Amino acid sequence: MEQSRAAIENEGFRIAAVSYDSPKTLHNFAQQYQTGFPLLSDRDSAVIRSFGILNTNIAPELRAHGVPHPVQYLVAPDGAILRKYFVPNYQHRVAASEIVLREFGIASNGAPAVTLRSGALTVQVGLSAEKAFAGQEIGFFAKFALEPGWHVYGSPLPGNYTATSIEFDDPKIARQSFDLPPATPLHFADLGETLPVYSGTFRGTGSLLLKYPLEDGSITLRGRLRFQQCSDAVCEPPEIIAFDLPLTLQPFMIVPPRK
């Protein structure tokens, strides 16, 4: 979190958290966990209600009534909301490292990454951070580089071609996504087809929602890169390259040492 906070602040943003808890509760929490950013008390949940994120699944007679759904907003200096990161289940949270990766293209120092090579294609795949909690949504990136004269395919495609994609096949992942920029239409006169392609260098980002609960400790996330690389003279068969990325699952709450 410290690295993510520093990256956010370096981009000119500041962090604050809003909760329905009392100022005293938030003060004690900030002291115990050394948050390093303001915790704001919305005691009657007025702000929470105004944003439409009150968790209405909690009955009024329960102590937790007034708690919001976990949402993170990226807000411009003029107050405009630039982005909303929302997960509907209270057991899940979007990691700050994913937001930093998506918004600013920065992964945390020490975040695991692996370089994959085949023919004219080189791809670096990495996570947004080296550590996470069960129930967090973390980010990952893929940096592609193709030699001149070569391309890989985007989407949508006819069934006899293979689009470029990255998928993780792991029971510890509840949900995943991977996004590439729009591909460039390229007309193939010999084939009489116009197909979406990528060439040169380009980048994709994705997300991995970790299940909750999971045991603490070191795990390995297994992924697959699919692609088909072609040039003007030759089209290689579709390929799948498997890869592993290590990740450390932390205890749900960690009390930092007292200074």
- 225 burial (CB, 10 Å; 0-12 / 13-18 / 19+) is buried
User: Model-level pTM?
Assistant: 0.89
Q: Are strands 150-153 and 229-231 parallel, antiparallel or unpaired?
A: antiparallel
Read off the pLDDT of residues 203-251 as tens digits, 9 standing for 90 and up: 999 999 999 999 999 999 999 999 999 998 899 999 999 999 999 999 8
Q: How do residues 45-81 score in pLDDT, each as one tens digit?
A: 999 999 999 998 889 898 888 899 889 999 988 889 9
**Residue 45 — left, alpha, or beta (φ > 0 → left; ψ -120 to 50 → alpha)?**
left
Q: What is the pLDDT of residue 35?
A: 87
β-pair type (17-19, 39-41): parallel
Where, residue-wise, is CATH 3.40.30.10 in the chain?
Answer: 2-104
CA distance 259 to 34: 10
Residues forming CATH 2.60.40.1250 domain(s) in the chain: 113-250
Q: Is the dihedral of CA 131, 134, 136, 137 positive or negative?
A: positive
User: Can you identify the CATH homologous superfamily of domain 113-250?
Assistant: Thiol:disulfide interchange protein DsbD, N-terminal domain (2.60.40.1250)
Tally the C-alpha atoms within 13 A of residue 106's C-alpha that lie toward its C-beta.
16
Q: What CATH architecture does domain 2-104 belong to?
A: 3-Layer(aba) Sandwich (3.40)
Residues in a beta bridge with 179: 205
Token pair for 152: 């890989």
For the segment 5-33, what is each residue's pLDDT rounded down to a tens digit?
888 988 888 999 999 999 999 999 999 98
